[in-house]
Amino acid sequence: MTEIIDAWGQHPTLRHAQNPMFDSLRRWTKTPTPTEELPVATTVGLMDRAGVDRMLISAWEAPRNTMISNDEVAGFVAEAPDRLIGVGSVNIARPMEAVREIRRCVTELGFKAIRVLPWLWEVPPTDRRFYPVYAACVDLGVPFCTQIGHTGPLMPSEVGRPLYLDQVALDFPELTIVGGHIGYPWTEEAVAVATKHENVYIDTSAYTVGRYPPELVRFLKRHGAEKVLFGTNYPMMPPEQALKGFDALGLDERQAQQFLSGNAKRVFGL
């Protein structure tokens, strides 16, 4: 059986889960605001139900607000080290602190990537405050993960235009970049940037298989077979829901293996 690696998940803290910015997502998913901390065992159980072997779980650093800290992520990973993989986040408003924290995440906590979300900071990924983060990721040999496409929370979406990553990839050709959430409604932009740049990838988090845009499916089945990673955006979307209807994609055995785990293993050095 093909191994499945989820390239984008979170094990949420209550601070994260209860944040009012996610009210719009709860409206879509018709789920109540959580009132208790989620046990790591629950996350692992939902992975088991869907046959997901490993999940990359991320910290969330927002302006003036650490929603999920790097140390909390490290604690979650320690509870299920064979199943969960840490992804760090940093405060881009304090560049030198960010660089030092990236080094700590990778060398001390064993994290495999760094994620910063432009919409949280309301600036595009070409903003000067991101550039020390990119340099640190290149220096330490870890991917930079970010969101492309519109935002579910009611925040400006324009900073998620995939085309911004074109300039980042030109400035940092050694940087591996993973753009999560497909890039919709600019998926063709995302495909163009991933096609142009050797080290730019797309993950499918936040979308069920049935909602993948046709241009992404074409890319996945043709020249982009090694460029697209499976992701869920758990807990917003349970793994079982994200994988529903997978066979209808019509991927051959090699394409499916690359999409579900092979690309993630290569990109994140797993």
Angle value at C-alpha 49, between 74 and 145, nearest 5 degrees: 40
Amino acid, res. 117? L
Listed in sequence order, the residues at least 6 apart from 166 whose beta carbon sits closer than 8 Å to its beta carbon are 193, 196, 197
Q: What residue type is assigned to position 230 of the chain?
A: F
Q: How far apart are CA 259 and CA 197, in angstroms?
A: 18
* Letter string b/e over residues 60-99, b meaning 16 or more CB atoms within 10 A of that residue's CB: bbbeeebbbbbebbbebbeebeebbbbbbbbbbeebeebb
To the nearest 10°, the Cα dihedral for 43, 12, 132, 130? 110
pTM for the predicted model, two decimal places: 0.96
Nearest to 98 by CA among 129, 56, 139: 129
Residue 137's contacts (CB-CB under 8 Å, 6 or more residues apart) are 102, 114, 143, 144, 175, 176
Q: Exposed, middle or buried: residue 247 (CB in 10 Å: 0-12, 13-18, 19+)?
A: exposed
118, amino acid identity: P
The two tokens of residue 71 are 């140390």
pLDDT in tens, the chain (270 residues): 789 999 999 999 988 877 766 666 666 667 777 778 999 999 999 999 999 999 999 999 999 899 999 999 999 999 999 999 999 999 999 999 999 999 999 999 999 999 999 999 999 999 999 999 999 999 999 999 999 999 988 899 999 999 999 999 999 999 999 999 999 999 999 999 999 999 999 999 999 999 999 999 999 999 999 999 999 999 999 999 999 999 999 999 999 999 999 999 999 999
Contacts of 169 (CB under 8 A, 6+ apart): 175, 177, 193, 196, 197, 199, 200
**Residue 206 token pair:** 């936040």
Say if CB 39 and CB 94 are below 8 A apart: no
Please name the helix (run of DSSP H) or strand (run of DSSP E) that holds residue 102, with its range, or none. Answer: helix 95-107
